[in-house]
Structure 1
Amino acid sequence: MNSGSNAPLDGAVVAVAGAAGPAGRATLLRLAEAGATVVASDADPERLAEAVDAARYAHGGATVTGDTVDLLDLDAAREWADKTEKEFGRIDGLVHLVGGWRGSPSFAETKLADWTLLEKLLIRTVQHTSLAFHDGLLRSDRGRFLLISAAGASNPTAGNAAYAASKAAAEAWTLALADAFRKAGGDDGPKAAAAILVVKALVHDAMRAERPNAKFAGFTDVTELAEAIAGVWDRPAREANGQRLWLTPKP
């Protein structure tokens, strides 16, 4: 199933979940630039269409498609994975960008309704995409599952209990997927890899325009994140699998 190219992403088929936001847009652009066929999904069809069109326009001839998928529905996630592999003949990656944030002034003021929401956005969607794409990624010779996480998962603050706990759970789930890939590879080592890219927070041009005097210290620009995402395919699966790849200083 090798494309015959030496470029790690040339001819690859990569799905991007949560593709309509600034990080998703940057990722679609970078993957398309690298020669990948990009299959984007989001719950917002209008913003998704704009993101897909922008990537197609920036890289004429690139194959970038969009599907509105409810990733809170496991069957819908599996249908998306099956449709992607059937249409393009392979699936070489799933980039998980579904996000969300809720916080509180103090630990005692934490609202458990925030946990209810974040558990769905930050954990349930990871569970569903990983289960849906697991088999297809194993069939690839360069399968990658990438989770974007936050430094707060390993260094939570009092007001971010629900968010940090959700991110930590998503990381643990992804590391379990990495162990599954390791075991499937046997003595030869894993063919597929599950890795975590860790940021403090993300920043993009619109945020800078809104707050021109802000420093955004330690933040990762969405274009830098997209570059790091593409770079994971440069690493052998054995080196990438089960790794936390820090894009911000460790706390």
Structure 2
Amino acid sequence: MSVLDGAVVAVAGAAGPAGRATLLRLAEAGATVVASDADAARLAEAVDAARYAHGGATVVGDTVDLLDLDAAREWATRTEKEFGRIDGLVHLVGGWRGSKNFTETDLADWDFLEKLLIRTVQHTSLAFEDGLRRSDRGRYLLISAAGASKPTAGNAAYAASKAAAEAWTLALADAFRKAGGDDGPRAAAAILVVKALVHDAMRAERPNAKFAGFTDVNELAEAIAGVWERPAAEVNGNRLWLTEKP
């Protein structure tokens, strides 16, 4: 039996290729999956695909504005009320803006990324922390980028946003550590770090590209599910590298 059998896992930003792969993998492992995304049509497609692939799996979708803290809290409360527990939040909300060089950085990109990559993390973590702490296998997983640890000149806004999201997640990990006391944390917050993600459609568009160091979305989904296989104390507050450290 999978450790995820019977678990209730929320996935934020579930409609993209990484979200689709994650929904499929979690459903396959026996979890009840509660997906959200700002794009209702793409979310419905992703949820239907996971349900179809794993007949009998409970996969539901909810259009949630994660830029609204109250909406995020309502999502968490509704999920726990409906399914009786909450064992995970996988944060896949992503986006990128960059420039040719440092001088040409547009601070409007920062305004955009601060909302997308930091605010959404703040809101999901604040909304789900209490439920995850009560779980016997709670996991908060942020998907981050290697660029947060080694920013490049044209990626200042993106790297700074990712670094801030990582710091916020590590603060949540410290809260779980303190809540666990001498027995160690029961829940864990961890960061899965990739260089970038690749999926089949990208390979089809660029058949000659090597995508060196990229992580396939299916590999990411496998790594996400694998975090539940490891003790909370082992993963809490750690960066789990799926690519070479910069």
Quote how far apart the aligned CAs of 1:207 are: 0.1
Quote how far apart the aligned CAs of 1:44 are: 0.3
**Deviations, residues 39-82 of structure 1 (Å, cap 9, x unaligned):** 00000000000000000000000000000000000000000000
In structure 2, what is the Cα distance between the partners aligned to 1:197 and 1:139? 23
Q: Secondary structure at the match of 2:60?
A: strand
Q: 1:127 is matched with which residue?
A: 122
Q: Secondary structure at the match of 2:142?
A: strand
**Deviations, residues 86-135 of structure 1 (Å, cap 9, x unaligned):** 00000000000000000000000000000000000000000000000000
**Deviations, residues 9-42 of structure 1 (Å, cap 9, x unaligned):** 0000000000000000000000000000000000
Quote how far apart the aligned CAs of 1:174 are: 0.2
TM-score of the superposition, structure 2-length normalised? Answer: 0.99
Counterpart among 8, 15, 19 of residue 10 in structure 2: 15
Quote how far apart the aligned CAs of 1:202 are: 0.1
Sequence identity percentage: 91
Quote how far apart the aligned CAs of 1:138 are: 0.6
Quote how far apart the aligned CAs of 1:250 are: 0.4
In structure 1, what is the Cα distance between the partners aligned to 2:37 and 2:162? 19
Quote how far apart the aligned CAs of 1:219 are: 0.1
TM-score of the superposition, structure 1-length normalised? Answer: 0.97
Quote how far apart the aligned CAs of 1:236 are: 0.3
Where does the alignment leave 5 or more consecutive residues of structure 1 unmatched?
A: 1-8
Number of residues paired by the alignment? 243
In structure 2, what is the Cα distance between the partners aligned to 1:153 and 1:163? 8
Q: Secondary structure at the match of 2:228?
A: helix
Q: Secondary structure at the match of 1:212?
A: coil
Quote how far apart the aligned CAs of 1:154 are: 0.4
Where does the alignment leave 5 or more consecutive residues of structure 2 unmatched?
A: none
In structure 1, what is the Cα distance between the partners aligned to 2:124 and 2:135? 16
Q: Secondary structure at the match of 1:234?
A: coil
**Deviations, residues 134-180 of structure 1 (Å, cap 9, x unaligned):** 00001100000000000000000000000000000000000000000
Runs of 4 or more, structure 1, over 6 Å off, are none
Q: 1:161 is matched with which residue?
A: 156
Q: 1:185 is matched with which residue?
A: 180
**Deviations, residues 172-202 of structure 1 (Å, cap 9, x unaligned):** 0000000000000000000000000000000
Quote how far apart the aligned CAs of 1:208 are: 0.1
Quote how far apart the aligned CAs of 1:84 are: 0.1
RMSD: 0.2
Q: 2:214 is matched with which residue?
A: 219
Q: 1:6 is matched with which residue?
A: none
In structure 1, what is the Cα distance between the partners aligned to 2:153 and 2:73? 37
In structure 2, what is the Cα distance between the partners aligned to 1:82 and 1:70? 15
